[in-house]
């Protein structure tokens, strides 16, 4: 198949592009490399050293004899999007080309606005271009479990059947986004659902959990193919932060009491889910939602696991309760469905201590690349300066 991977230089996009190319698909990466510029602006960098995109693609070709094309295009420029679809005539489009950090979107008005322009305008441009240029192509869009928030009912896959005053209907599941970033993802979902109903487009919305791990069989082949490892307070996800803190022998900073519960999955399962969605496309006019995760963890429980693994490595990294810089429920109900990808054949991996140890060891090997100034959070949802609690747990 001819597949576009928009945002293919990023964390999920890079792993996906290599995975699909390895399986014989004709892959084109579309990326304007803006994430690299955002890193430079914020003074942050990946823990692992990321090669220039041209070097990455050259190495992939030399290692595998497979070619991934690269187009430097901007999804916020409509002419770029239309030209790309005309030139590549894709069967499927995997859309990762968005600002993906909740903290980034909460830095200030400018960063919130950038997030909305990049995400919402880019998504709208892509839908119009599909309508006008490539209406048969299947859109596989990366959403987020964060769209749902933490409702006090079970989270279904995209839709919920409700009865009200004697009548029944199946409607989009209510959304409670927790940041301006998550608000853009809700808008994306509404746009895509509308476009499928109106223009008979076909789309799969993958509401993904928090992704961990950096290695897939393809990124493991050589150093220039290595994937990103974000650990900072803007782009670093919770497991990465804990593992880097352990590598530094720094306390593991649990926000609030650590009762926040979230969905997670391995990066290898991310690429498997993308491939399953592509190989089993939606029908014309169909907008479907898959909840893309394999496990659910509480933040404190995850910190305890990292603490225990670090101890086995001879590292003391105790849990430290830290004033929560975010506006979120500290204790809440969390039960969610994830059956549709399993029905398509996903065999999930589960987080084990060996992978946690591997991530800690990546931090130890690259300790000179860790900037301690970026280990603790700097972005506050309500504007108050967070301060570490005096008391450590356990």
Q: Round to the nearest angstrom and report the end-to-end CA distance of the chain.
A: 53
Q: Catalytic one among 84, 115, 141, 185?
A: 185
* Element housing 171 (H / E): strand 167-172
- Residue among 270, 251, 253, 38 nearest 142 (CA): 270
The SS3 assignment for 280 reads coil
| Rounded-to-integer distance, Cα 368 and Cα 370, Å | 6
Q: Catalytic one among 11, 148, 181, 255?
A: 181
What does each C-alpha distance from 229 to 52, 122, 316, 369, 375 come to in angstroms? Answer: 15, 25, 22, 11, 13
Q: Which two tokens stand for residue 138?
A: 């299947």
| Rounded-to-integer distance, Cα 46 and Cα 136, Å | 37
- Please say if 104 is a catalytic residue: no
Q: For 336, which DSSP code?
A: B
- The pairing of beta strand 319-322 with beta strand 388-392: antiparallel
- Please say if 287 is a catalytic residue: no
Q: Catalytic one among 28, 115, 144, 219?
A: 144
| Rounded-to-integer distance, Cα 28 and Cα 319, Å | 44
| Rounded-to-integer distance, Cα 69 and Cα 142, Å | 21
The SS3 assignment for 316 reads coil
The SS3 assignment for 374 reads helix
The SS3 assignment for 165 reads coil
Cβ neighbours for 134, distance < 8 A, ≥ 6 positions apart: 85, 89, 90, 93
The SS3 assignment for 393 reads coil
Q: Which two tokens stand for residue 343?
A: 């029905």
- Please say if 165 is a catalytic residue: no
Instruction: List residues with catalytic annotation.
Output: 144, 181, 185
């Amino acid at each position: 198949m001819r597949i576009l991977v928009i945002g293919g230089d990023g964390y999920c996009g890079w792993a996906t592009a290599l995975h699909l190319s390895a399986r014989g698909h004709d892959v084109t990466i579309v990326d304007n490399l803006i994430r690299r510029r955002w890193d430079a602006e914020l003074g942050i960098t990946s823990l692992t050293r990321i090669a220039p995109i041209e070097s990455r693609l050259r190495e992939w070709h030399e290692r595998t004899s497979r070619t991934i094309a690269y187009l430097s295009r901007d999804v916020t420029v409509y002419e770029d999007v239309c030209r790309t679809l005309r030139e590549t005539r894709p069967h499927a489009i995997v859309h990762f080309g968005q600002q993906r950090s909740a903290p980034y979107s909460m830095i200030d008005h400018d960063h919130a606005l950038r997030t909305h322009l990049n995400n919402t305008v880019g998504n709208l441009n892509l839908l119009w271009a599909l309508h006008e240029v490539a209406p048969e192509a299947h859109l596989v869009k990366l959403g987020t479990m964060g769209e749902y928030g933490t409702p006090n009912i079970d989270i279904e896959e995209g839709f919920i059947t409700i009865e009200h005053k004697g009548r029944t209907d199946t409607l989009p599941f209510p959304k409670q986004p927790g940041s301006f970033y998550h608000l853009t993802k809700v808008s994306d979902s509404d746009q895509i659902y509308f476009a499928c109903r109106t223009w008979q487009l076909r789309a799969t919305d993958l509401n993904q959990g928090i992704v961990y791990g950096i290695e897939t069989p393809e990124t493991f082949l050589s150093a220039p193919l290595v994937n990103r490892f974000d650990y900072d307070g803007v782009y670093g996800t919770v497991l990465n932060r804990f593992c880097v803190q352990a590598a530094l022998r720094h306390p593991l900073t649990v926000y609030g009491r650590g009762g926040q519960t979230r969905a997670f999955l391995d990066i290898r399962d991310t690429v498997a889910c993308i491939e399953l969605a592509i190989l089993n496309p939606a029908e014309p006019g169909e907008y479907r939602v898959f909840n893309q995760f394999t496990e659910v963890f509480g933040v404190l429980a995850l910190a305890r696991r990292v603490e225990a693994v670090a101890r086995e490595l001879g590292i003391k990294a105790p849990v430290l309760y830290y004033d929560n810089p975010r506006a979120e429920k500290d204790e809440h109900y969390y039960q969610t469905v994830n059956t549709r990808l399993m029905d398509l054949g996903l065999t999930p991996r589960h987080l084990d201590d060996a992978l946690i140890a591997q991530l800690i060891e990546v931090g130890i090997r690259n300790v000179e690349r860790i900037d301690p100034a970026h280990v603790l959070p700097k972005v506050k949802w309500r504007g108050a300066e967070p301060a570490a609690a005096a008391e450590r747990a356990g």
